[in-house]
Amino acid sequence: MEHNPLIAVWINGLLRSAASAAGIHVHGDPLPAHVIMAMIATLALVLFFKLAARNLSFFPARMQALLESVYLFFRSIVDDMIGREGRPFIPVLGTLGLFIATANLLGLLPEMASPTANLNVPAGCAVFIFLYYHAQGVKKHGILGYLKKFAGPKWWLSFLFFPIEVISHFSRPMSLTVRLFCNIFGEDLVIIIIVSLVPFVAPLPMMAMAIFTSLLQAYIFIMLSSVYLSGAIASEH
């Protein structure tokens, strides 16, 4: 069963009270816990960047230097995987990567839960990037030109290559989803078990490792997304 943090219980209580005041009877929780946690992760990122980017200057202070380092990190991924023509994708990939990283780390805070430990959130991120890179491929090559990329190097082999390519592309969101979900769910479950047995010092090494794996899983997700984008917009020679 999904862990129901206190903040999710409180928010759902407020929503039920508001619904009752409006004459609407709500059975159960109006919002699942993972939806509330995802909204909290999103709101935290929006507020952080809104406040951190208020006083930008030519000579950056520490916070501005941190923001520029984050941008340069995502730019280096895009330049390595796609090339300079992939820089317009930095806002999308950066936003998705920061959301996944924040969502992964959220479960390490007291009375919080990682929304990515629920299968729906990784699946939503994976389906988004699946639709996004196909849309960019169609935008770059047109529908017919993009479909030709599925047909293989020779037209007379298209009957063989096309179904293989289709299966390969549809396996990508599944792979992204399972990899992210299993890692975050597994580490959260191990931490909960350790905390229930030895609540103080013992969980600290596992939590330190969880910080590393949470950031690593966000990096892997964005790196693979960049690879898929690179393949979608690449021109045949």
Q: Would you place residue 1 in the very low, low, confident or very high pLDDT band (cuts 50, 70, 90)? A: low
**pLDDT reading at 195 higher than 90:** no
pLDDT at 236: 63
Long-range own/partner contacts, residues 131-139 (CB < 8 A, 24 or more apart): 132/92, 132/229, 133/225, 133/228, 133/229, 133/231, 133/232, 134/169, 134/232, 136/89, 136/229, 136/232, 136/233, 137/232, 137/233
What would the pLDDT profile of 12-48 be if each residue is shown by its tens digit?
Answer: 889 888 888 888 887 788 899 999 999 999 999 999 9
What would the pLDDT profile of 39-97 be if each residue is shown by its tens digit?
Answer: 999 999 999 998 888 877 777 788 888 889 999 999 999 999 999 899 999 999 999 99
pLDDT at 118: 93
**CB neighbour class for 63 (10 Å; exposed up to 12, middle 13-18, buried from 19):** middle
